[in-house]
Structure 1
Amino acid sequence: MNQHKKKFALIHILFLIILFWPGLVLSQFKLEKVKEFKINSFYQVDLIDYFSKESLFLGYTHKLSKGMDITMVKENGEIVLSKNMKGEGPEQYRATLNCLGFSEKGDIWVLTPHQLLLYDQKLKLKERTRYESRGRIYLGGGAAPFSYFYRKGEFNGFTFITNPSGARNFAGLPDFRGKNLLQVSNLGENAIYEIAPVAERPQFEYLDKSLEAVYFPVYTVDNTQSRLYLTTSLDNEVTVIDLNTNKVESQINITHGEFKSLENNPISRESLPSYEHITLAAFNHKIFKLDDGLMALEYIREIPYGTYEKKIADNPKYHHFRDPEYHRLILFDQSGQLTNDLAIPYGKITMSLPGNRLLVKLENPDIEEDFIRYGIFQISKE
C-alpha cells in the first residue's frame, strides 16, 4: 500500500513538472503565410493600422530628408494616398508625427507631442485639439499606433495615451523609479492622469536608476473592451488593466526562451551587455492583441558580443534590434503562456489583423528590391 502511494505521488509530481516547468511548455501553434502583396515604392512604407470595413491599411512612408508621408494602401498593395502633412499650412502640423491610427468611422487620427488632429481619408482636416502633457516625446524615424479608448459612464469618454509604446519617456530623468509608465488624456474632461506605477512592476526592487534611457513601456490597447495589455522593455510580466477603473485584472508571467538581463541583481546599464555604446541585451519589443482572448508578445533576444562584433565588421549600421533572426514571438491567453519562443518569418511584424493574423513586412537584407513586400501570416494550432 505504501509503495502504491509512493508510486502515485511520484507520477503526480512528474505530471506537475511537465505541466508547469517552463522549459517543457510545448508549442501548439504555428505561423503560416496565407497572402502576400507588393507596394510599388522606392521609399520604405510601414503599415501600422487597418480599417476592416473598407479593407484599408494606414501607415507612413519614409521620404528621407523630405520627412514622412501619411500613407493609405489597399489590400492589394495599391497606394490610395500618400502625403506629407508637416508644415506651416492651416491643415498641417508643425511638430513630430508620433502616432497614427484609424478612428472607428475610418477617419485618421494624428498625434503630435502637443496636438491631436483628425483628418478624413483625403487628409482634409476635421478637428485640431491641443492637449496638455507633463512631458514632451518626439519620435524620430517612425510613428507608433494611436492608442485610444472610451471610458464607460462618462459623458465624453474619449481618452488616449499620450506616450507611444516603445518611447523612451524616462530618458534624462534622475530617477524614474517613482514615476508612472503611462500618461492618459481625456479631452472631454480636459484632464490628464497617470497610471501603471513603475513601483508595481515585478522587477522593481532590482531596477537601477541608470536604466532611465532603456526602460520604457510596451503596450497595446483593446479599444473595444477598454483594456490595456502592458509590460516594459525589461520585464517578465504582462499586466492586463481595465481602463475604465484603472484596476489590474490579471498578471500573466512571461517565460522567455532567453532573457539573461532579468537574472541580474541589480539590473543596471553596467550589468547589461554592450559593445561600446550599443546595447546587446534582450528587450521586450511589442504586444499584439489577437482574437479569442489570445495575445502575442514579441521580444528581442540578446546577441553575443563576438557575434555582434562580426556583424558590425560586415555592416557598420547593423543592430540586432533590426535583425529578424533575433526576434521571437510568445503566445498567451488570459490564463497564461501558451507557447515557448516561436520564430518569426524573415521580416518585421507591424500589426495584428482580424482572424488571428499578423502583418509582416518582408525584408531580405541580401536583395535590394524596388518595391515593398508584405505577408499576412495566420496563427493556428498545429
Structure 2
Amino acid sequence: MKKFFFGALSFLFLHSSTFAQISLRKVSEFKIDSFFEVGILDYYEKDQVYLGYTKSKDDGVEISLFDAKGNKLISKNLYGEGPNEHVSPLSGLAFSEDGNIWGKTPIEILLYDRDLNLIEKTRFSPSTTSTIYFPKKLTTLKNPAGENVVLSTISNTYSFSFARNFESLNLIDGVNLKSGISTGFIPARSIPIFSRMDINMKNMLSAIYTASPDGKQLVVTTSFDDQITIFDSRTLEKKNHIAIDHESFDALESSKLSLSNLPQFKNRILSGRNFALHAWDNGYLALEYLRDISLGVFEKKLAEQGSYDTSRDPDYHRLILFKDGKQVSGDIPIPYGEIQLALPENRLLIRLINPDEEEDFMRFGIYKVEF
C-alpha cells in the first residue's frame, strides 16, 4: 500500500474482485495541537463533540474533549486519591446516552459530567486483570430489566491467561451498575472456532466486540476467528453467525488452531489476527484485521526497528465489510494511520501518521465508505 500523502484531498481504493467496488473517500480533516499522543474514542453526535485522551507530560493520561474542529474543550488528569479522582489507571472511556462520560479502571466504573466533575462511582471486584497503557472505547449495554451494564473486559485486550479450559470460559465480563456485581457472559462454547482451538492459544486470545449504534446488538469475534457472531444485547441470545473470508490469515485454514502451528520468529507470532470491529447505523459492519507477515519481511523490519509489530504498522491493517449477514468486500487497505472509530453516515475517523517526520500536532482525517 502506498503511504498517505498529507496534501492529497482523498484516499481512494477500488476493490476489483467478485465483490462490489468500495471506496474510502476523504471528506474532511482537522488537527489537534499537541506535543503528546492523542487518541479519540467516542463521538457525541448531538453536540458534535469528541471524547478521547491525551498523554500528559507526567506520563499520566488526561480525559480530553474536543470540538469538531479539533479544538480542546477540556482536558484533565484525574488519576489520584481525591474525591473527584480515580485510584487506578483508566482503561476505558465512552459517552453515556445523555452526553456524560463513562470511565473505567480495573476496579471502578465512573460517571463524569462534561466539566469532568464526578457524578457517581461504582466499585467492583474484577475476575481478570489486563495491562492497558491507554484507555480504549468502553461499551455499555442494557439488561432485560433496563439496568446499565458496563463491559469490563476491554475489546482486543489479552485477558485469558488464567483459563484452564475453554469449556467454562466466558469471553466478556460486565458490571451491573445497580448491584455492583460483575458477571461473565458470552460463553466460549457459543463461538464455533473454540471447537478446534487448543488451550495453549489462551495467551494469544482476546475478545473483540462492538455494540451496534442503536444498542440492540452485540457484535463479537475473537483475535483468531473465521466468523462474527451477533447477539441480542439485552438477552444475549445468539442471533446469527457471519463467515469471514480473509485474504491473508493462513492460520485459520488449519483444522487445529494451536500455538505450535503458528509461524514464529524468536517468540514473536507472524500470523495475522483480528483487531477491531466497527459498526454503522445503516447495518454495515467492518472487521479490521492484521495480515500475515512473511519471515523475511519481519526480519528486515525488526532489524530496522527493534520493537516492530504489525499492529502498529498501517501497511498490515485491512478492512472487510459486511451487510445483512454477508461479506460484501475483500481486503481494503486504509490510509496511512490508525482507525479511531466509526462515525455516522458510513464514515471513519483515522488518526493520520506522517512516517517521515515527527510533528507537533496530531492530524485526523474523516473518510466516507462509499459502495
Indicate if the aligned counterparts of 1:217 and 1:230 stay in contact, CA closer than 8 A.
Answer: yes
Measured in 2, the distance between the counterparts of 1:251 and 1:268 equals 23
Report the CA distance between 1:131 and its aligned residue. 2.5
Amino acid at match of 2:313: D
Q: Does 1:57 align with 2:47?
A: no
Residue of 262, 268, 272 corresponding to 2:252: 262
Measured in 2, the distance between the counterparts of 1:277 and 1:26 equals 37
Q: Does 1:44 align with 2:37?
A: yes
Measured in 1, the distance between the counterparts of 2:201 and 2:233 equals 27
Amino acid at match of 1:120: D
How many aligned residue pairs are there?
356
> Match for residue 109 of structure 1?
102
Measured in 2, the distance between the counterparts of 1:132 and 1:325 equals 39
How big is each residue's C-alpha offset from its partner over 1:22-68, in whole Å with a ceiling of 9 and x where there is no partner?
Answer: x9532432111100111100001000100111111111112365211
- Tell which deviates more after alignment, 75-84 or 261-270: 261-270
Residue of 233, 237, 255 corresponding to 2:223: 233
How big is each residue's C-alpha offset from its partner over 1:236-290, in whole Å with a ceiling of 9 and x where there is no partner?
Answer: 1111100222111111111111111112242122211122122211010000011
Indicate if the aligned counterparts of 2:65 and 2:72 stay in contact, CA closer than 8 A.
Answer: yes
Q: Does 1:331 align with 2:324?
A: no
Amino acid at match of 1:150: K
Measured in 2, the distance between the counterparts of 1:234 and 1:218 equals 10
Structure with greater helix percent: 1
Secondary structure at the residue paired with 2:155? coil
Report the CA distance between 1:355 and its aligned residue. 0.7
What percentage of aligned pairs have identical amino acids? 36
Q: Does 1:76 align with 2:75?
A: no
Secondary structure at the residue paired with 2:302? helix
Indicate if the aligned counterparts of 2:142 and 2:148 stay in contact, CA closer than 8 A.
Answer: yes
> Match for residue 147 of structure 1?
139
> Match for residue 234 of structure 2?
244
Q: Does 1:159 align with 2:159?
A: no
> Match for residue 86 of structure 1?
79
Secondary structure at the residue paired with 1:178? coil
How big is each residue's C-alpha offset from its partner over 1:188-214, in whole Å with a ceiling of 9 and x where there is no partner?
Answer: 244443222212322223211111111
Q: For residues 335 and 205 of structure 1, do their structure 2 counterparts lie closer, same or farther at Cα, with a shift above 3 Å needed?
A: closer
Report the CA distance between 1:351 and its aligned residue. 0.2
> Match for residue 279 of structure 1?
269
Amino acid at match of 1:143: P
Secondary structure at the residue paired with 2:311? helix
Q: Which runs of 5+ in 2 are unaligned?
A: 1-15
Secondary structure at the residue paired with 1:318? coil
Measured in 1, the distance between the counterparts of 2:246 and 2:211 equals 22
Report the CA distance between 1:176 and its aligned residue. 4.1
Amino acid at match of 1:218: I
Residue of 96, 99, 108 corresponding to 2:92: 99
Secondary structure at the residue paired with 1:325? helix
RMSD after superposition? 1.7
Measured in 1, the distance between the counterparts of 2:114 and 2:34 equals 20
1:213-232 residue pairs with structure 2 within 5 A?
Answer: 213-222=203-212, 224-232=214-222
Secondary structure at the residue paired with 2:203? coil
Q: Does 1:26 align with 2:16?
A: no
Q: Which runs of 5+ in 1 are unaligned?
A: 1-22
Indicate if the aligned counterparts of 1:286 and 1:299 stay in contact, CA closer than 8 A.
Answer: yes
Amino acid at match of 1:85: L
How big is each residue's C-alpha offset from its partner over 1:324-361, in whole Å with a ceiling of 9 and x where there is no partner?
Answer: 10000011012311101111111110100011100000
Residue of 199, 203, 208 corresponding to 2:189: 199
- Tell which deviates more after alignment, 189-198 or 115-124: 189-198
Secondary structure at the residue paired with 1:25? coil
> Match for residue 7 of structure 2?
none
Amino acid at match of 1:290: W
Secondary structure at the residue paired with 1:270? helix
Residue of 106, 113, 125 corresponding to 1:120: 113
Measured in 1, the distance between the counterparts of 2:167 and 2:308 equals 31
Q: For residues 239 and 64 of structure 1, do their structure 2 counterparts lie closer, same or farther at Cα, with a shift above 3 Å needed?
A: farther
Secondary structure at the residue paired with 1:66? coil
